[in-house]
Amino acid sequence: MPGWQGQLIKIDDYRWQIPQSYKSGMRVPGLIYATQKMLESIREDQTPEQVANVAFLPGIVKFSFAMPDIHWGYGFPIGGVAAMDIKNGVISPGGVGYDINCGVRLLCTNLREAEVRPKIHQLIGELFQNVPSGLGSEGKIKVSRKEMEQLMVEGSRWAVRRGMGLKEDLDVTEEGGCMEGADPNKISDKAVKRGMPQAGTLGSGNHFLEVQVVKEIFAPEIASVMGINEIGQILVLIHTGSRGFGHQVCTDHLRGMEEAASKYEIKLPDRQLACAPIESQEGKDYLAAMACAANYAWNNRQCIAHWARESFSKVFSKSPQELGMKQIYDVTHNIAKMEQHLIDGQKLKVCVHRKGATRAFPAGHKDIPQCYKEIGQPVLIPGDMGRCSFIAVGTEKAMEESFGSTCHGAGRVLSRGAAKRALKGKDVLRELQARGITVKTGSIPELAEEASLAYKDVTEVIDVVHQAGISKKVAMAVPLGVIKG
Amino acid sequence: MRLRSLFRAQARKYTLSNDIGKMMKRAFEIIDHTADVGIIVYGADARQLFSNAALALFSLITDTESIEEKLQHALEISSQDRDSLLVEWLNELIYLFDARHFLFTRFEIESLSHNQLKATCYGESFDPSRHKIKTGVKAATYHMLKVDEDSQGYKAQVIFDI
């Protein structure tokens, strides 16, 4: 069965260009970061066509980028990066995704594998009880409509103000855990109603909370600045987003954007790319609503981090401070942000869409926390639950080339249905247990959807971005215990 | 990989309009999409198409046989055109499940034009002791959205974000 047959020009071992001439209407070429081997799988469906389609969007500069973890999304590919000139460019909700500010937060501990392994069942049980998860999970924090409005504006600060977390957590959260410009008036009643009961929940699907063990340190000096000092150290990784709230915000604004696209006479190769000029009312309204959803997601990860600390504290009978549970960093991988970049020697303000892609700013950049000024922004790349996750840092090369962006994870290769047909959830559970990974989930059959075979090997993905120079590998950790919604 | 190829083969086959009639006996089928899931829905007329699409959605969420008709909910939707009306209809139902926990099993489409729909949905509130949630469907998308019509009836394809 033929997949995508278009032309790809090899730039080097890790860069492939879709020429602008591939399709009439492309404003810039496409650029895919991948190895030759990965391209075979990337070409199997129409993902590269989506990279080319994104290049149609008004105001796009340089390239329509695709990270090595790209897979077929709707409109934009997942793993896509596109920057639009704010003067004449567009904002597209499809370039952010439904799960606005889906992201990852990493906590450190001073515990070692030998101390945690004997208690892992108890710890995972405690975490499972303390962190609301699963399909349609509802939070243990009850949020009134008024509080929901505050939460949308304040982000992580909302939770910190209520004693859930530390002020220092905000310093090591992208955007300080609070995106400016959030306007609850741009949020529909439906979104509020979906969002209120789900505040502070992990959700389901590919979202998780993992207790991990550091297995390899590639750059010890950089790792130690983050508090990662030795092999065997225990970390906690939280992956979740804005739940039904973000989905409703995206759905609501896609509708408006559809009308806007025809109003502003923007020709689109795919309806799901609906967009509006950044400076238009529709564009501004979406950005104000997107910021609300981003803040909701940051608050979510803040609450969950707090309950994770409480759970560790209970199991190990020490305070989170005594356990060294400081936050390493929190990144978003579904967002659009106004940033300044150097393009052809000129400073240009652009709206960078990162859909399934992570910001990767270099050392010295003004937008990264003081404590990381010398090493660069931490980049957190979760893998699937059977393999491993990586910690990296942003680089100057990323800044020059990919608007300070890199990959976000492993990337799916098998649909959820195909994974379920190939594997049984209980077999996946047994195999993980045999490998010393304790799993707790609300739905064992769903576990098959998230099995290793459904994902690309994250090691190959991180090698590409490392070799291409758009981030630098720092450490690798493997799961010891997993909570799946 | 092989399974993905099958999906492409399947999707291609059904886009041939003369296949619509042959498939009319089935109300819908579930298709795979890399990160998500989709439905192909059939209907003798547009009303049946919309009603079957709603049933397909709830069959992704739970076993629709387990839903009893204990309540009814009236809905009115308007949109830009027929294709987006289908997406909006499904998104309204997703909202009703996610925010208000309604599960529906029967849909009476009372009126339907190219951009407006009036319907009554029959079902009950989600009860964790009796309803097993299979998939957390979060949104109906415009991605690969197709609504085809020929002398034999209607066929539509919708991809959901889950």
- Residue bearing the bigger pLDDT, A135 or A214: A214
Whether the predicted pLDDT of B24 surpasses 70: no
B13 touches chain A (CB under 8 A): no
CB contact set of A223 (below 8 Å; sequence gap of 6+): A217, A229, A391, A474, A475
A341, A353, A408, A466: the catalytic one is: A408
| Residues of chain A contacting B142 with CB distance shorter than 8 Å | 74-75, 254, 258, 271-272, 274
Whether the predicted pLDDT of B11 surpasses 70: no
Whether the predicted pLDDT of B5 surpasses 50: no
The reply to whether residue B159 touches residue A74, judged by beta carbons under 8 angstroms, is yes
What confidence category does residue A443 fall into, taking pLDDT thresholds of 50, 70 and 90? Answer: confident
Average pLDDT over residues A60-67: 98
Cα→Cα distances B19→A449, B55, B148, B152, Å? 31, 22, 11, 9
Q: How many CB pairs under 8 A join A and B?
A: 113
A376 falls within a domain: yes
The reply to whether residue B33 touches residue A415, judged by beta carbons under 8 angstroms, is yes
Q: Tell me how close the Cα of A349 comes to any Cα of chain B, in angstroms.
A: 30
Closest partner CB to B142 (pick from A73, A272, A415) = A272
So what's the pLDDT on residue A122?
Answer: 98
Average pLDDT over residues A68-91: 94
What confidence category does residue A255 fall into, taking pLDDT thresholds of 50, 70 and 90? Answer: confident
Average pLDDT over residues A389-416: 93
What confidence category does residue A136 fall into, taking pLDDT thresholds of 50, 70 and 90? Answer: low
A49 falls within a domain: yes
- What's the structural domain count of chain A? 1
Closest partner CB to B32 (pick from A248, A272, A415) = A415
So what's the pLDDT on residue A206?
Answer: 84
Between CA A413 and CA A454 the distance in angstroms is: 5
What confidence category does residue A262 fall into, taking pLDDT thresholds of 50, 70 and 90? Answer: confident
Please say if A247 is a catalytic residue: no
Q: What is the mean pLDDT of chain A?
A: 95
What confidence category does residue A137 fall into, taking pLDDT thresholds of 50, 70 and 90? Answer: low
So what's the pLDDT on residue A139?
Answer: 76
Q: Tell me how close the Cα of B155 comes to any Cα of chain A, in angstroms.
A: 19
pLDDT tens for each residue of A293-311 = 999 999 999 999 999 999 9
Query: CA neighbours within 13 Å on the CB side: how many for B5?
Result: 8
A449 falls within a domain: no
So what's the pLDDT on residue B139?
Answer: 93
pLDDT tens for each residue of A154-181 = 999 999 999 999 999 999 999 999 999 9
What confidence category does residue A20 fall into, taking pLDDT thresholds of 50, 70 and 90? Answer: very high
So what's the pLDDT on residue A170?
Answer: 98
- Of A50-54, A104-108, A133-137, B68-72, the poorest mean pLDDT is in A133-137
Cα→Cα distances B54→A162, A251, B91, B109, B142, Å? 41, 17, 10, 11, 16
Q: Tell me how close the Cα of B43 comes to any Cα of chain A, in angstroms.
A: 24
pLDDT tens for each residue of A355-383 = 999 999 999 999 999 999 999 999 999 99
The reply to whether residue A136 touches residue B136, judged by beta carbons under 8 angstroms, is yes
The answer to whether the CB of A41 falls within 8 A of the CB of A34 is: no
So what's the pLDDT on residue A118?
Answer: 97
So what's the pLDDT on residue B1?
Answer: 32
A439 falls within a domain: no
The answer to whether the CB of B67 falls within 8 A of the CB of B105 is: yes
- Residue bearing the bigger pLDDT, B43 or A2: B43
- Host H or E run for residue B11: helix B2-15
In B, minimum Cα distance to A71 occurs at: B34
Whether the predicted pLDDT of B14 surpasses 80: no
What confidence category does residue B143 fall into, taking pLDDT thresholds of 50, 70 and 90? Answer: confident
Q: Which domain holds residue A242?
A: 9-413+455-484
In B, minimum Cα distance to A413 occurs at: B34
Q: How many CB atoms lie within 10 A of CB A21?
A: 9
Pair of tokens at residue A387: 């393999």
Domains and their CATH numbers in chain B: 2-161 (3.55.10.10)
A431 falls within a domain: no
Average pLDDT over residues B85-100: 95
Q: Tell me how close the Cα of B5 comes to any Cα of chain A, in angstroms.
A: 6
Average pLDDT over residues A434-452: 89
Residue A442: DSSP 8-state:
S
Between CA A462 and CA A391 the distance in angstroms is: 9
So what's the pLDDT on residue A303?
Answer: 97
Closest partner CB to A75 (pick from B79, B88, B143) = B143
B63 touches chain A (CB under 8 A): no
pLDDT tens for each residue of B34-50 = 767 899 999 999 999 99
ipTM score assigned to the predicted complex? 0.86
So what's the pLDDT on residue B25?
Answer: 59
> Which residues are registered as beta bridge partners of A194?
none
The reply to whether residue A135 touches residue B91, judged by beta carbons under 8 angstroms, is no
A361 falls within a domain: yes
pLDDT tens for each residue of A142-151 = 899 999 999 9
State in Å, rounded, how far the first CA of chain B is from the last one.
Answer: 21
CATH code: domain of residue A107: 3.90.1860.10
Pair of tokens at residue A159: 């939770």
What confidence category does residue A414 fall into, taking pLDDT thresholds of 50, 70 and 90? Answer: confident
So what's the pLDDT on residue B6?
Answer: 34
- Residue bearing the bigger pLDDT, A404 or A254: A404
Q: How do A233-240 and A103-112 pair as beta strands? A: antiparallel
Q: Which of A55, A65, A100, A61 is nearest to A83 (CA)?
A: A61
- Size of chain A in residues: 485
- Host H or E run for residue A105: strand A103-112
So what's the pLDDT on residue A413?
Answer: 82
A14 falls within a domain: yes
So what's the pLDDT on residue B18?
Answer: 44
Query: What 3-state DSSP class applies to B51?
Result: helix
Closest partner CB to B133 (pick from A72, A135, A422) = A135
pLDDT tens for each residue of A214-240 = 999 999 999 999 999 999 999 999 999
| Residues of chain A contacting B138 with CB distance shorter than 8 Å | 98-99, 244, 247
Supply the pTM of this predicted model: 0.93
Q: Which of A57, A51, A60, A45 is nearest to A16 (CA)?
A: A51
